[in-house]
Amino acid sequence: MPSGPTPAVRVVVGARVDYELHSYRHDPDATSFGEEAAAALGVDPTRVLKTLIVDVGARLACAVVPVAYQLDLRGLAGALGTKTAQLAEHSVAERSTGYVLGGISPVGQKRKLATVIDDSATKWSTVYVSAGRRGLELELAPDDLAALTNATFVHISRR
């Protein structure tokens, strides 16, 4: 595992928001990175958020939803004022964010993307998002996450 702070950690530290950094041993055979994080940290999977890069026509956007739910692509498209949305190819997501799949953080991405966080995150005092590396999670207040990513809260998930 690479050492040193990730871009996400550097952004959070620089912003002087309250946060906690949690690490766990990543299993290379895990099929769901978010569910793996929730189980390893003993956290409700509706409180651990996954970061999905989405193609909304001529541009990319970032959707942040609980790992226990699925992204509602139609709801996201509506929130972004587009007709359609689809998950971006893995290589496109990695190139755009500067992170590897399973470690994509909504914070500290290489390119700033329009970001929407599922409104269910607001029911928690803190939520968990990838810190930019598999096996590393940031815990912070949903409002701080939204401020750091210039995000809006909209209902964009479904069970």
Map out the domains of the chain with their CATH numbers.
7-158 (3.90.960.10)
pLDDT single digits (tens) 45-73: 999 999 999 999 889 999 999 999 999 99
Mean pLDDT by 10 residues, the chain (159 residues): 80 96 92 92 97 94 97 96 95 96 96 97 98 96 98 96
Q: What percentage of the chain carries pLDDT values higher than 90?
A: 92
Count Cα atoms within 13 angstroms, Cβ side, for 6: 27
Q: How far lies 141's CA from each of 45, 81, 83, in Å?
A: 16, 27, 31
